[in-house]
Amino acid sequence: MTFRCAAASLDRDESIAGTASTVRAFLLLENAGPWGENALRDARLPDGLGDELTARAAAARVRVLLIRRPGRRRPHELRVFAAFAHHAAPWLESTVLNDIHEVHDIDVEALGAGRSPGLTPHPDPVFAVCTHGRHDTCCAERGRPVAAALAAAHPELTWEVSHIGGDRFAANAVVLPDGLYYGRLDADSVVGVADAHLDGKVSLEHLRGRSGLGTALQFAELALRRRLGEVRIDAVRFVSQTQQDGTVTSIFAAGEQEFAVRVRSTKSEQLHRLTCSATRDNAFVQHELLDLGPVDPR
């Protein structure tokens, strides 16, 4: 039987909570592909642009992703998005490039620092579904039907995107600028996730976490939301965190009340093949809720 990492993750009942990539600054560059295994290196960008952009983005702590419309139609223009997924004040800007070389002029360093790179504020969210099959087979097999279904419902908001992390949770999507990662989506659930987001709500069943927070904090936010039954995007706000002996204690505000959430993160005892192309088994991080309760205001 052909191994598929997403099916294996489901079989071992691995939780998706607290598994979003930890990223605040995103730069999305339209490119119809093919993308190859490493999108920036293998997408045939001209004149060493991919290597240069990779180096600049790494230094500025910006995640560069390639995007395309479902169906891989060749674009008449090159759309660029810059997103800063701050947990409290996310923002999104966009522009259209006349020539791919104009990407040199984008202030990647400002974006990494949380400042505008000089593009135009963009009012609508971006729904980006990972379909990067050359990176992982599950992303293509599970991602492309999801992207097609979402594009049928919300064509102007939907993009296919290169590797965003967590192949074994395919189909994966990230919603910008909020940095909300969703996993184990299918053609029906992704439309529900998008509709909920446009109504100002998250989908707790498929939410992996908020990328502007560390994974333990992502898990804590989800645990609190589930305890309260709170799905409004802005209704749960991160306040602070402390760490001691491998345990993270975070404070979140919901309404007028603050809550303390204690989470312990450990490596799985058993090793697993975590991607379709993995050549060896590895442990994965798992989170455990130790305590959750209101903060005494005294």
Side-chain half-sphere CA neighbours of 144 within 13 A? 10
At position 188, the amino acid (one-letter code) is D
Whether residues 223 and 177 fall in one domain: no
In the chain, which residues have pLDDT < 70? Answer: 72-75, 298
Q: What is the CATH number of the domain that holds 266?
A: 3.10.450
Whether residues 175 and 276 fall in one domain: no
Whether residues 83 and 168 fall in one domain: yes
Whether residues 273 and 156 fall in one domain: no
- Report if residue 170 sits inside a domain: yes
- Report if residue 205 sits inside a domain: no
DSSP readout, 13-27? T---TT-S---SEEE
- Report if residue 203 sits inside a domain: no
Angstrom distance (rounded) from CA 187 to CA 123: 25
Q: What are the tens digits of pLDDT across the range 144-180?
A: 999 999 999 999 999 999 999 999 999 999 999 999 9
Coil, helix or strand at residue 130: strand
> What is the value of pTM for the model shown?
0.95
Whether residues 138 and 224 fall in one domain: no
Range of the domain at 126: 5-198
State how many domains the chain has: 2
pLDDT, residue 74, reads 67
pLDDT, residue 72, reads 64
- Report if residue 17 sits inside a domain: yes
Coil, helix or strand at residue 179: coil
Q: What is the CATH number of the domain that holds 71?
A: 3.40.30.10
